[in-house]
Every structure is written in structure tokens, then in C-alpha cells.
Amino acid sequence: MIRSLIASTLRRSRRTNSLKILDEYVSVAPNDQNAIDIFKGEWSSQFPGARNELKAGTVKLFDDARILWAGNQLGGFKGQRVIELGPLEAGHTYMLECLGAESVLAIEANKRAYLKCLIVKELLGLRRSRFILGDFVSFLRENDNEFDVCLASGVLYHMQNPCELIHLISKTSKKVVLWTHFFDEQVIQSKNHLADKFSGRIRQKYNGFDHVLHKYVYGDALAWRGFCGGGHSYSYWMSPEDILACLRFFGFEHLEVGFEDLDHPNGPCFLIVGRR
């Protein structure tokens, strides 16, 4: 009796799976939206104006004033060899090519984000950018090549050890573009949806640099298929003072700060451009 039930269940499972695989086929003529809809509902970025007929996300990462400002601070990206950490959906990668970067090596750990980058590369014709799948911290630990610029937008606050990342960036490039959220106790405690995500602090010393880390727990955000945080269930945020001090400690003496936003819905943030 039990064997009969198991066999019947397996037959139903096979029939169900055979029907599901047919959902992976596209039944309409080829068009660019078909590729985007592989990840329908998971996109964060809105495609650039020249392709505004494509429906993806809503955030204007393909036309981002932060990248334009950073380029102005650094004398432009033309002819620069850029390493990009966490390209997400290749919006900034696209901008770097448009602004004349000689090459972009973009490292993405999230498999779904990596595949979205490849879709963008095909749809927008990126030719000087290479996307590789893997952990950029592991890559930087072993990297011997030097780049002109390191773009690290939206990654520092997803780290287990943010100071290590800053140190590794300092060994990889003489210029850095760093956009990040930071821990401001007064701001965060005034917003319940942010305060509830923090669960204590620790004091740490990394390679001689003393600092405080604030534990951030992703919680329900992990349930979204388009999740674009770190590879663990929690990360550590730093204060703005510690971030700037850490950059200086590891050699970025010339710093410019812009786009500070204490009211950002996901937490206070700013953009830093640094030179060694």
C-alpha cells in the first residue's frame, strides 16, 4: 500500500515538473522585453532614456547624478581602468562606458544580479565591460593588478568586515568612489523601521584601526527574489566618522563628500570620492 502511494506521488510529481518546464519557453516573437521579463518583478533599475520603452525597475541607476559628480571630482572617467564592486544591474557600468572608461571589470556575487548584468550588456551593447561572478572580497585579497578607479556603490554596508574592504580597495586603486549607508544613532532611532533592524554594536580593531560596528539584520528583505544585499543574514554598518577615518588611515588623504541624505528611506547615506 505504501509503495503504491509513493509510486503514485512520484508519477504526479513528474507530470507536474514536465508541465513546469514548458513555462520556460517564450511563445511570442523575439524582443528585448522578453529577456527583462525573465526576472519580472525583481528589477531595481529603470533603463536609460534611450530605452525607456523597456519595463524593469524604477530607480534611475542608468542616469545617476552621483556618478556624474564623482567623475567631475576625479577629472572624468575617460581612459580609466575601473574595477566595479557589486554592479547590481549594470546601470553604473553602462554610465562608465558612456563616460569613456577604457575598461570596466565588474564583480557580482549574486547569481540573479549577475545574469541581469549580462542581459543589460546584450541589450545596451556594452563592449568594454566584463562581468564576473564571485565574491569581490575574495578576489581583492588575491588581486595583484592595479586599477585607476574603484567604484564601490552600495556595498560597504553589506559587509561583515567593512574596514577590510576599505583596506583592500586602497591596495587596488589610487582613486575610490564610495556610496554607502551609515549608522547615525539619532537618525536611526527616530525611525522605527530602521531601528528594529539593528541589534547591538561591537568594538573592533582591524590592522591597527579601532572602530565600532553596528549589526544590521536583513529580516524580511531576504524573502524578495530581487534581494540585493550581502551574502549573509546580517551585516555591519559604520558611523560616518569611522568611515572617513578608515579611508584616511589606509591612505585616502584627499576626500570629497557629497549627496548626504539623512532622510533616505533605507537609512542615512553619503557619497565619498577619495584619492591616495
What is d(CA 24, CA 172) in angstroms, rounded to the nearest whole number? 41
pTM recorded for the entire structure: 0.91
DSSP β-bridge partners for residue 175: 275
Reference 140, options 258, 273, 250, 269; nearest CA is 250
Residue 180 has phi, psi (to 5 degrees) of: -160, 155
What's 118's domain CATH number? 3.40.50.150
Q: Are residues 144 and 24 in the same domain?
A: no
Rounded distance between C-alpha atoms, residue 245 and residue 176, angstroms: 15
Cell digits of residue 230 = 550581502
Same domain membership, residue 148 and residue 34: no
**Do both 135 and 30 map to the same domain?**
no
Residuewise pLDDT in 10s, the chain (276 residues):
555 555 555 566 565 566 688 889 999 999 999 999 999 999 999 999 989 899 999 999 999 999 999 999 999 999 999 999 999 999 999 999 999 999 999 999 999 999 999 999 999 999 999 999 999 999 999 999 999 999 999 999 999 999 999 999 999 999 999 999 999 999 999 999 999 999 999 999 999 999 999 999 997 777 767 666 777 889 999 999 999 999 999 999 999 999 999 999 999 999 999 999
What are the Cα distances from residue 243, in Å, to 108, 164, 219, 229? 23, 12, 25, 19
Same-domain pairing of 122 and 173 = yes
Residue 50 lies in a domain: no
Give the amino acid at 65: A
- How many Å apart are CA 111 and CA 105, to the nearest integer? 16
Owning domain of residue 148: 65-275
